[in-house]
Amino acid sequence: MTKDFSEEIKETIALSFYNHCRPEVRSFAIEMEKTLQRNDHKGGWQNESLEWLMIKLMEEVGELAVLIHSSSIHLSDKAVTGEATDVANLAMMISDRAQNILADEDNKKGE
């Protein structure tokens, strides 16, 4: 199966962007995607309210804070990365939902 030209352009741009990202950003983005894929069975965030997503974000921030303030934490502890990834994914979901809500409102104005 051959790719059309637009797909090749998209892949080239994505690869270029990926190669120019800081190593820390690439590594963290990979962790974010792994977590999202592990949770695909939950059905996504596209229909969740911003309020619900914000509540979940605050819960995850709380879990991260507990880990960081725990006396038994080790800097190599993957739990910190896991909780930080959850926080980042929820922040991304909020951003995505807000953009989609605004786009929907703009589309309704244009009708």
pLDDT in tens, 82-103: 999 999 999 999 999 999 999 8
Query: Does pTM top 0.85 for this prediction?
Result: no
Q: Identify the domain containing residue 76 by its residue range.
A: 23-110
Q: Is residue 47 part of a domain?
A: yes
- Count of structural domains, the chain: 1
Q: Is residue 9 part of a domain?
A: no
Q: Is residue 58 part of a domain?
A: yes
Q: Is residue 6 part of a domain?
A: no
Q: Is residue 95 part of a domain?
A: yes
Answer yes or no: are the C-beta atoms of 55 and 103 closer than 8 Å.
no
**Ranges in the chain, pLDDT < 70:** 1-2, 71-76
Q: Is residue 15 part of a domain?
A: no
**Gyration radius of the chain's alpha carbons:** 18
Q: Is residue 17 part of a domain?
A: no
Q: Is residue 67 part of a domain?
A: yes
